[in-house]
Amino acid sequence: MSELEERPFILVSNDDGIFSPGIKALAEVAAEFGDVYIVAPDKEQSAVGHSITIQVPLRASKFTVAEKFDGEAVNGTPADCVKLAHGQLLDRKPDLVVSGINHGSNAGINIMYSGTVSAATEGTILGYPSIAVSCTEYSEEANLRGCQEAARRVIKFVLKNGLPKGVTLNVNAPAGEFTGLKWTRQADSRYVEEYESRTDPFNRAYYWLTGKFELLDEGKDSDIHVLNQGYASVTPIQYDLTAYDLLGDVEDISLDD
C-alpha cells in the first residue's frame, strides 16, 4: 500500500452549500490530516435538521472546490449528502466525517435544527467518527481562523482516539483568533417564536418566522457560556433521545390499568 493510500480518507459536508467559504476553510484543515472529498448541498440548506429527501430523485454533479478539492453537489439535504456519499458516491469508506464550517452558532437548542450537525450525526449513524464545526458569526466574511484551529485540534483528537458508538462531537467557535477550546454540555435554551402575518398582492395571508433566542441556563460548563467567554466549545452529543432517568423511574409501573 502506498503512502498516499495510508492517509485517512475524510468526507466533508455542510448545510450552507458547496460554494460556502466555510466548507473551503474546513476542507483546508481536513487536508492536513488526510485525503478530502466533498459532498454537500448544491444550495443553502440551513435549519433543515435531519430531514431527508423521499419525494424527488437525488442528483449529484461533480465540482472542484477552491480549485483543489474534488467533490459533488447534491440537490438534497445535508443528511442526504452523507447518506448518498456512503451508499453510492464514494469508492472508499471514510475514516472521518466533518461538517461545516457553518456560518452561525449551532450551540444550545440550535443543535436540534441544524443541518450542519445533522450531516455529522448521519455520519455517526452510519458508523463513522463525525464532527460538526460552526462559527458564531453569520457573515460569510467572518474570520474563521479560530474555528479552523478548533477543528484542527478536534480532528487530531478523533483520529487518534476515535469516538464511542453513537457519539458526535459538536464544535462551536467565535469568529477571530483562537483563544482556547473547552469541553462543554449543551445549554438549556429555546426560541420564543412569533409569526408575523402579511398579505400578498392577491390578498392571501402569509407568515414570516420571527422571535428571539432565550438562554435558560446559567451553568458555566455550557457551550453558550464558554462561547460568550470567548472560547471554542466541543460538546459530545448523541442521537439516542431516550430519557433513561425517567425510564428507570417508570419501568415497574404498569400501563395496563
Chain segment 130-181, per-residue pLDDT in tens: 999 999 999 999 999 999 999 999 999 999 999 999 999 999 999 999 999 9
Does residue 167 form part of some domain?
A: yes
pLDDT at 254: 87
Domain count, the chain: 1
Report d(CA 47, CA 42) in Å as an integer: 15
- Residue pair 27/38 in contact (Cβ under 8 Å)? The answer is yes
pLDDT of residue 1: 36
Asked if residue 153 belongs to a domain, the reply is yes
Annotated binding-site residue? 200 = no
Q: Is 53 helix (H, G, I), strand (E, B) or coil?
A: coil
Positive/negative CA dihedral, 99, 101, 103, 104: positive
Confidence at residue 191, expressed as pLDDT on a 0 to 100 scale: 92
Q: Is the pLDDT of residue 73 over 90?
A: yes
Domain that holds residue 40: 3-187+219-239
Using 50, 70 and 90 to split pLDDT, how confident is the model at 252?
Answer: confident
> How far, in Å, CA of 113 to CA of 240, rounded?
16
Q: Name the band, by pLDDT with cuts 50, 70 and 90, for residue 14.
A: very high
Mean pLDDT of 100-118: 97
Segment 74-91 shows an average pLDDT of 97
The yes-or-no verdict on residue 4 having pLDDT over 70 is no
Is 15 annotated as ligand-binding? yes
256 is in an annotated binding site: no
Please state the rounded mean pLDDT for residues 24-46. Answer: 97
Q: On the CB side of 140, how many CA atoms lie within 13 Å of its CA?
A: 8
DSSP annotation of 211 reads E
pLDDT single digits (tens) 176-233? 999 999 999 999 999 998 899 999 999 999 999 988 899 999 999 999 999 999 999 9
16 appears as a binding residue in the annotation: yes
- Using DSSP's 3-state secondary structure scheme, residue 96 falls into strand
Cα 44–chain centre separation: 13
As a whole number, mean pLDDT of residues 231-245 equals 96
Question: Is 90 exceeded by the pLDDT of residue 112?
Answer: yes
Does residue 212 sit within a domain? no
Residue 233 located in a structural domain: yes
CATH code at 235?
A: 3.40.1210.10
Indicate whether 163 belongs to any domain. Answer: yes
Q: Is residue 125 part of a domain?
A: yes
In a domain, 82, yes or no: yes
C-alpha span between 44 and 46 (Å, rounded): 6
Cis peptide bond N-terminal to 23, omega within 30 = no
In a domain, 208, yes or no: no
Asked if 40 and 12 count as a contact pair (C-beta separation under 8 A), the reply is yes
